[in-house]
Amino acid sequence: MTIAEDVALAGLLGSAFLSATVLPGNSEAALAATIAFYPGRVVAAVFIATLGNTLGGMTSYVLGRFFSKKVTRPVPAMIRRYGVWALLFSWLPVIGDALCVAAGVLRHTWWQAMAIMAIGKMMRYLAVVAGWQNLMAS
C-alpha cells in the first residue's frame, strides 16, 4: 500500500465518521472517489467507511445514553416500535442521528446497537460500490 492510499483511506475514515454525526461529511462521495482512484482497495474502503460511520453513530449513541436526562424531545416512534433493529436505518440523513441518540436514551445494549448499526451502514456502502461499478461498466 502506498502513502497516497493510506491518506485516501484515512480521509475516508474521517469523512465517514463526520457523516454519522451532526457535522457535515459526504462519505458516499469519499468512498466513490477512493474506489475510483484505488479500485483494488474496494474491500478495505468499504471496511474503513463502515468502521468510521459506525463509530460516528456510536458517538451519538453515547451522547444519548449519558445525556438522556436532558433530552426533552420524544424518542422517534420508529425505535420505540422496532427497537434496536431500527438502527439498520441509522445511515439515513437526519433521522439516522436521531435513531442513534434514541438507542442510547433507551439504553439498548451497546454491542447490539453497534452491530446492527454496522450492518445497515455496510449495506449502504455496498450499494454505493455496486452503483459505482455499474456506472463505470456502462
Provide the pLDDT for residue 74: 66
Q: pLDDT digits over 40-49, tens only?
A: 999 999 999 9
Residue ranges per domain, the chain?
Answer: 3-137
Provide the pLDDT for residue 29: 94
Separation CA 48–CA 39 (nearest Å): 15
Separation CA 121–CA 28 (nearest Å): 11
**Axis-axis angle for helices 27-37, 3-19 (nearest 10):** 160
User: What's the pTM?
Assistant: 0.91
pLDDT band at 77 (very low <50, low <70, confident <90, very high): confident
Higher pLDDT, 96 or 70: 96
